[in-house]
Every structure is written in structure tokens, then in C-alpha cells.
Amino acid sequence: MSTLSPQPYKGTRDYYPAEKRIQNFIFNNWKRVVMRYGYEEYGAPMLEPLEVYAAKSGQELANEQTYTFTDRGGRIVAIRPEMTPSISRMVAARRQEMAYPARLFSIANFMRYERPQRGREREFWQLNVDIFGVEGAQPESEIISMGAEMLKVFGATDDMYSIKINNRKIINYMMAQYLGLDAVQSQLMIKLFDRKNKISTEDFRDQAIDIFGEAMAADGLTKISILLNATSMMDLPEEIRDNNAVKEVQELFVLLDAAGVKNAVFDITLMRGLDYYTGTVFEFFDNHPDNNRSLFGGGRYDGLVGLFGAEPISAVGMAPGLTMTELFLQTHNLLPKLPSTTEVYIAVLGDDMLPGATMLAAELRNEGVNTELDNTGRKLDKQIKTAVKKEIPFLVFVGEEELKTEIYSFKDTASSEEQKLSFERIVSTVKDRRRPHLDELDDLFE
């Protein structure tokens, strides 16, 4: 029998305690922000019928990237590659009963079959934030402002990232009227623009020529050059500038400015490849040269709920991912050192002391102190090494003298400083330690 590999499935990650602390730190800060805005948490199944994604997410996602299988009832189901179709289905199921605006969020894992690379995995975790039932630019402003606040709670400043904004109505007009493309050509060109920063200039040009066809290529490439050189809405060709959707984008910028979001820019080349977007689309980009890429994005998708047999409803959402957020924090040195969630390690000086040490551990836990008790009977030096290796901040030694006097040897594992403390002083010292680390640790103790 061959030996099984200890490695996880390709494109997935194991989360040992140190990695899990980082994951929880990010998740809990996300939750802190969205709940401030009045968003409520929901959950959805990991499996959905494949047609839920094929209908509107796009054929590439449904056919090439989705893990699918036929269940025992003969139904073709998919492991969710994203959440937007699921939450749209849920809203459609209770379209009449829900109170609007409906502000909803979830943190969940997803799977896509694609080539693993830096920042991209086959199993990934992301926050999904959506608001249903509000027209106009206000919900886009709220969602984008929330995304900016999420980065700021981690310590990010405006110069570290930028927010690129476009509108699918402008894109559709640009493709059909300005570039003169038919429906098939338009979809191909949107996909090409979406890959613009991932391919060479020559490849972009050659693929654009193929889409235009020989007769339209020269004029089409000239028009694309004008678009690529536009740094603001005022630089756009007049026929695009006069589109009503431009006014929607302008209104959004006014609202963002009022909300204190100063690093948003208009980008005519931003596409967002998913087919269900119907209005504003946006992406947050890392400005650091070592990680100059999209962090997360979102947009308006008014038509998706209507696909499930309910009356259509306006919707705007975004989906920050765990891995890209972690890379952003690492790149900008914003990731704090997160110690063990266990605060006290009790080292037992002899087997006879174990009953008394067990009682002390129970009393500490009753006071809200996270406590690990060494019940192995090992020598003291090995118990100490275990506490240090686990990065537990404090050691409490329990021997015959300590149990008799109820004064315990208390050691800081980082500084090696040791003192004699009563039970009450141990509790207060541990809790005092939490205060300077509230941003990093508070959520870990909830």
C-alpha cells in the first residue's frame, strides 16, 4: 500500500493555528465594519444546481472553472464558485416578506478549478456584502465607502490603494455605438479589456484586430487608443461623454467625496468580467509595486433576482477575498504579530500537584482567562519549552508551596521576567495585557 501524501489538494491551503489566527483577525475586522453599517449575516448551501451559475455568471465560470458532479438523484450540481447567485436566489425566495433595503453579508469558502498562482487558489474565502432594494448611486457609494473603511481598519492609508470605477451602461454603449461591434464582438472585446493588464500590448492589439476583423481594425484600434489615453470622463469622446450613464458615475463621485473617499478614479477600461453586472462596476487596486493588482471589486446587478421567477430588484455588492487581503497587509507591513489565543500555560511540578493545578485552571477559566493545563507528567523544562513553542504569553508554576500559599510563580515567556502573584493579580495582569493589543486581539477572545 502506497503512502498517502501529507500535502493538501492542489490549490487549497491548510490553516494551522498561526494561519487560522490571521484568518480570524481578517474575518472579524470585516464583520466589525459591515455590522457597523447595519448588515446582517446569512448562510447559504455549498452546493447549487449548475444552471444557477450558467444562467448569468458567464460560460467560462460555469463550464471551465466550476467543480461539478452528478448526484445520486441524477442532478448536475456545483460546488459554489461565488455567492452572488445564491443570495439572489434567497432574496427571490422571500421577495415579498423581506424588509428593504435588505443589507446582507456572509463569509464563506468557494472553489474554482483554475491554475493556482500568487493570490489565486482553487479553494478561497471571501466576504460577500450586498444591498437590495435601493436605486440611484447611494448604495454604490455605501458599498465602496465600506470597502475603503475595511482597508483603513487594518491601517491602510489612501496612497496605498486606489478605487477604479466604470459603468456597464457606458461599456455597452462604447462597444455597440462607439466601436460599432455586434453582440458577439462586444462580449469578446469586454473579455479582452478585462484581461488587458494580464497580457502584453502586442497580444492585446492582435486579439483586438481579430475581434474587429480586417475591415474595421484600423479605425477600431485608433478609437481604442483614445479610450486608453483617457484619464478622466472629460477626456472621453463626446458621444460617450453625453451618455446618461456618465451622469450616474458623476453623481457617485460626488457622494464618495462627501463620504471622505478621495482616492477613487474613473477608468473606462475597467470591465469586471462577470455577465450579470448592469450598472456601476468598481475595483480596489493595490498601488504597491510588489503587489500592483486588483484586491477586490463589485458592482450593480439588477437583473439577477428576476431570473428566479421573482419581480426584479436592484442590487449592489462586493466580495473582498481573504488571500488578497492577507497579501495586501503583508506587502504594506500591516499584518500584526498575533500570539496564541491561549493566555496562560500551567506547568505542574509533580504528579501529586495535578488535582490542585486542575482546580486553578478551572478558576482561571471561570474568570475568562484562556488556560492550558499541562497534564503530561513531563519534566519541567519540557513543559516550559512547550509553552514557548506555542507562543503562549504567560506561564504559571504550580507546586506544593504555591498551592499552600496561593501565591504562584508567574513568568512572561517573551521577556523571561518572573514574579510571585496571587490568583487575583494573575487575572488582572493577563487582562491588562489585552488592552494595548485591542485591535489585534479583542476579536480572538470573543
Are 262 and 214 found together in one domain?
yes
Can you tell me the distance from the alpha carbon of 353 to that of 110, in angstroms, rounded to the nearest whole number?
Answer: 49
Number of domains in the chain: 2
CA 353 vs. chain centroid, Å, equals 47
Rounded to 5 degrees, φ, ψ at 305 are -60, -40
What's the grid cell of residue 13? Answer: 491551503
Mean pLDDT confidence for 333-357? 94
CA dist 230 and 226 (Å) reads: 6
Same domain for 318 and 412: no
E-assigned strand segments in 30-73: 40-41, 47-49, 68-70
Range of the domain at 284: 17-331
Helix (H), strand (E) at residue 111? strand 102-111
4 secondary structure, DSSP code? P
62 and 179 share a domain? yes
Per-residue pLDDT of 50-65, as tens digits, reads: 988 886 656 666 678 8
Establish if 217 belongs to a structural domain: yes
Q: Are residues 370 and 253 in the same domain?
A: no
pLDDT of residue 435: 61
Q: What is the pLDDT of residues 106-116, one digit of tens each?
A: 999 999 998 88
pLDDT digits (tens, 9 = 90+) for 273-299: 667 889 999 999 999 999 999 999 999
Whether the model clears a pTM of 0.85, i.e. scores above it, the answer is yes
Q: What is the pLDDT of residue 36?
A: 97
Are residues 430 and 293 part of one domain? no
The more confident residue out of 438 and 341 is 341
Q: What is the CATH number of the domain that holds 377?
A: 3.40.50.800
Q: What is the pLDDT of residue 198?
A: 83
Query: What is the per-residue pLDDT across 66-83, written as a single tens digit (0 to 9) for each?
Result: 999 999 999 999 999 999
Mean pLDDT estimate for the chain: 92
Is residue 291, in this structure, part of any structural domain at all? yes
Question: Are the C-beta atoms of residues 91 and 313 closer than 8 Å to each other?
Answer: yes
pLDDT, mean of residues 172-180: 92
In a domain, 2, yes or no: no
User: Do 167 and 257 lie in a common domain?
Assistant: yes
**Is the per-residue pLDDT at 312 higher than 60?**
yes
Does any domain span residue 339?
no
Specify whether 376 is located in the same domain as 290.
no
User: CATH number, domain at 306?
Assistant: 3.30.930.10
